[in-house]
């Protein structure tokens, strides 16, 4: 039982990061109806920028974080402006392919930066573990989990109560109608790309606390995509839940099965989960209920 709880706790914490990546993809999808693969790179570059400002230049952590958010915000902004804006009005699949192209281009840059090595970010969160009733709780990961949930809460509140949030929800429903009420849909697209890039970067930075930056960081974006799909693509709570479920599932299945099959279960768990959930609920756990009433 306590091994199970241990896997559960570790999974939950890892799931917090997945949830953030998922949320960043859902944000973009809700507003622009584009499924983005590119967010894996935003996550990776977020971690890299943090390494650069915090690890390499040795700036104080708050300043490093702000500069990192600024840099990744600019990167998201530029991607939207140069690659995705021209796709407005074009078939959605074309926009999806564009994000794939963006992914591949930045992957090249990312590999050049790494030069086949790894980048270790100096540990910025506590590395000790708390022992609670025989369970090990890594402090650093617990902190970043709480922060992830806070980010999630802030986004939720912003959507619910702020003016920009209202504009975004309106944009998410109907671009033309939003335009006719005086909302600049193009500006909304920019804002959403900047915000979601920062969210992806936060996930990248959280990951960098646990694992040094290496070549497969961008692939976390694929897990984020799975999380988003499982949650229904349009639902923030869905992405949160999907992320947590994925983290827990990975850790529990790997924890129990790896000793038997000799490892690798964790890598498969995500795809397995996607398959099962989409078979049962093709629109994801929280696929939007369409209001049909003419």
Interface ranges with other proteins (CB under 8 A) = 33, 89-95, 163, 166-167, 169-170, 173-187, 288, 291, 293-294
Nearer to other proteins, 279 or 294 (CB): 294
Q: 274 with 230: CB under 8 angstroms?
A: yes
CB of 42 to other proteins, least distance (A): 23
**Residue 252 · residue 14 · CB < 8 Å:** no
Q: Pick from 176, 196, 221, 213: which is nearest to 79 by CA?
A: 196
Kindly state the tokens that stand for 162. Answer: 């702020």
Exposure b/e, 203-240, CB count within 10 A at least 16 = b? bbbbbbbbeebeeebbebbbbbbbbbbbbbbbbbbbbb
Q: Which CB, 215 or 283, lies closer to other proteins? A: 283
Q: How many CA atoms lie within 13 A of 257 on its CB side?
A: 14
- Structure tokens that stand for 23 in this block: 């949320």
Which residue's CB is nearer to other proteins, number 4 or number 93?
93
> Are residues 286 and 230 in contact, defined by beta-carbon separation less than 8 angstroms?
no
State the nearest-atom distance from the C-beta of 225 to other proteins, in Å: 19
Of 113 and 288, nearer to other proteins (C-beta) is 288
Which residue number, 32 or 251, has a Cβ lying nearer to other proteins?
32
* Nearest distance in Å: CB 49, other proteins: 32
User: Minimum distance from CB of 178 to other proteins (Å)?
Assistant: 8
Q: How far is the CB of 101 from other proteins (least distance, A)?
A: 17
Q: Pick between residue 30 and residue 223 the one whose CB is nearest to other proteins.
A: 30
92 vs 111 by CB, closer to other proteins: 92
52: left (phi over 0), alpha (psi -120 to 50) or beta: alpha
Question: From the CB of 157, what's the least distance to other proteins, in Å?
Answer: 15
Question: Which CB atom, from 93 or from 271, has the smaller least distance to other proteins?
Answer: 93
Min dist. Cβ of residue 284 to other proteins (A): 17
Least distance in angstroms from the C-beta of 221 to other proteins = 22
């Amino acid at each position: 039982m306590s091994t199970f709880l241990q896997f559960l706790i570790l999974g939950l914490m890892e799931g917090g990061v997945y949830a953030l990546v998922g949320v960043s993809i859902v944000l973009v999808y809700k507003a622009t109806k584009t499924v983005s693969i590119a967010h894996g790179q935003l996550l990776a570059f977020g971690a890299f920028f943090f390494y650069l400002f915090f690890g390499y230049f040795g700036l104080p952590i708050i300043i490093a974080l702000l500069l990192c958010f600024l840099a990744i915000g600019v990167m998201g902004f530029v991607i939207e402006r140069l690659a995705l804006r021209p796709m407005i009005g074009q078939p959605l699949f074309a926009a999806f392919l564009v994000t794939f192209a963006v992914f591949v281009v930045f992957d090249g840059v990312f590999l050049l930066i790494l030069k086949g090595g790894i980048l270790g970010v100096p540990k910025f969160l506590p590395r000790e573990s708390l022992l609670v009733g025989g369970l090990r709780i890594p402090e650093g990961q617990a902190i970043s989990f709480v922060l992830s949930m806070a980010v999630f809460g802030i986004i939720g509140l912003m959507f619910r109560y702020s003016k920009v949030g209202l504009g975004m929800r309106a944009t998410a429903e109907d671009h033309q109608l939003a335009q006719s009420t005086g909302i600049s849909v193009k500006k909304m697209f920019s804002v959403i790309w900047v915000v979601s890039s920062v969210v992806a970067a936060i996930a990248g930075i959280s990951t960098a606390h646990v694992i040094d930056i290496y070549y497969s960081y961008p692939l976390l974006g694929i897990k984020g995509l799975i999380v988003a799909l499982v949650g229904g693509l349009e639902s923030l709570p869905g992405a949160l839940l999907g992320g947590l479920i994925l983290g827990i599932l990975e850790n529990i299945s790997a924890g129990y099965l790896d000793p038997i099959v000799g490892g690798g279960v964790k890598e498969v768990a995500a795809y397995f989960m996607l398959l099962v959930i989409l078979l049962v609920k093709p629109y994801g756990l929280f696929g939007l209920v369409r209001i049909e009433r003419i």
